[in-house]
């Protein structure tokens, strides 16, 4: 069976070459971005202006730009796409949200107070004025680790979070029939937190597949909702995303109705 092996190797090499090219192009783009910043008359990014190229500081800078672009852009874009997908599947809810938005911001432009109100969600509080917006958001974040592929909306929030055990420990859980299970974990073990399994777990979420933003109005299991992970290394851009997300959701929804396009070319695109 040498032929399939050769084909696999060839395909893998092609893929690796594409990834390498993408990295090179991205690096070039970052370089241009940094140079552009240096040429700005009023340079807000003073740090960038002074980092010499081809040094370790430059590499750190490029690394940070890279992580912000990747961690910040794809996640935000997909979560917004996912939210719009869910709203188009739930037109009655979309209408309710539209009326809510219009009642607090008639011209559709989010005032600073509304943007500031997006922040309490990071502290797991729902602000009275914006509860529908924020619960829509949380609901979509809970869902977005799953695919709406048949409607042309791919998943991706972050589906699994890799961690390494910092010390020897034990994890205690229960099996399907309720027996306690103790799992010893030694220092250095690689672990994957399955966010998808957590967000769709019937142990924590009643009717887990349903889009029910109101489940976030009362008490809800905070530790079972980890779209941004948790702890010291959780998402650095969470508040930035929540503010941006609420602003975009508010502005678009106050001006447009989101509907599913009844067109075959949008079906089953993942
Ligand atoms: C829907 C939007 C986003 C989601 C779902 C998301 C999710 C996550 C998750 C799950 C992690 C891993 C945390 C861990 O390892 O425990 C992470 C890390 C990170 N995120 Fe986000 N993120 C989002 C938006 C953003 C934005 C907008 C930025 C930047 C502006 C950003 C910057 C980062 C950075 C820098 C880290 C690494 C933090 C560290 O290692 O200390 N993220 N994010």
Tell me the pLDDT tens digit for each residue of 1-19. Answer: 567 788 888 888 888 888 8
pLDDT digits (tens, 9 = 90+) for 40-90: 655 555 555 555 656 666 777 777 777 777 778 878 887 888 888 889 889
235 is in an annotated binding site: yes
Residues in the chain: 270
**What DSSP designation does 247 have?**
H
Which residue's alpha carbon is nearest to atom 39 within ligand 1? 233
- From 235, 239, 244, mutation site for ligand 1 pocket: most ligand atoms within 8 A of C-beta: 235
| Annotated domain spans of the chain | 1-50, 72-266
List, in sequence order, every residue forming a beta bridge with 162; answer none if it has no partner: 192
Place of tokens 């893929």: 15
Q: Tell me the three state secondary structure of residue 218.
A: coil
Total-model pTM: 0.75
Q: Is 76 in the pocket of ligand 1 (CB under 6 A)?
A: yes
Q: Is 139 in the pocket of ligand 1 (CB under 6 A)?
A: no
pLDDT digits (tens, 9 = 90+) for 99-145: 888 887 766 566 666 666 655 554 555 555 556 777 777 777 777 65
Q: Who wins on pLDDT, 195 or 131?
A: 195
Q: Is 74 in the pocket of ligand 1 (CB under 6 A)?
A: no
CATH architecture assigned to 72-266: Orthogonal Bundle (1.10)
pLDDT at 41: 59
């Amino acid at each position: 069976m040498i032929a399939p092996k050769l084909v696999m190797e060839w395909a893998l090499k092609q893929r690796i070459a594409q990834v390498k090219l993408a990295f090179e192009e991205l690096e070039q783009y970052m370089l241009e971005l940094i140079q552009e910043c240096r040429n700005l008359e009023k340079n807000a990014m003073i740090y960038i202006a002074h980092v010499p190229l081809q040094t370790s500081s430059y590499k750190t800078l490029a690394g940070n730009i890279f992580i912000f672009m990747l961690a910040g852009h794809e996640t935000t874009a997909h979560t917004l796409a996912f939210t719009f997908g869910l709203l188009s599947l739930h037109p009655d809810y979309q209408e309710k949200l539209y009326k809510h938005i219009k009642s607090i911001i008639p011209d559709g432009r989010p005032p600073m107070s509304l943007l500031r109100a997006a922040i309490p969600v990071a502290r797991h509080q729902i602000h009275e004025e914006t509860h529908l917006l924020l619960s829509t958001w949380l609901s979509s974040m809970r869902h977005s680790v799953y695919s709406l592929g048949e409607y042309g909306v791919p998943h991706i929030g972050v589906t699994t979070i890799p961690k390494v055990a910092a010390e020897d420990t034990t994890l205690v859980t229960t099996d399907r029939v309720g027996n306690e299970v103790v799992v010893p974990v030694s220092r250095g073990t690689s672990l994957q937190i399955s966010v998808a399994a957590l967000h769709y777990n019937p142990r924590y979420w009643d009717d887990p597949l349903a889009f029910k933003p109101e489940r976030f109005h009362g008490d809800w299991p905070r530790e079972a909702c980890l779209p941004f992970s948790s702890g010291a290394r959780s998402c650095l851009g969470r508040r930035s995303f929540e503010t941006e997300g609420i602003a975009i959701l508010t502005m678009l929804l106050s001006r447009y109705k989101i509907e599913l396009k009844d067109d075959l070319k949008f079906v089953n695109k993942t």
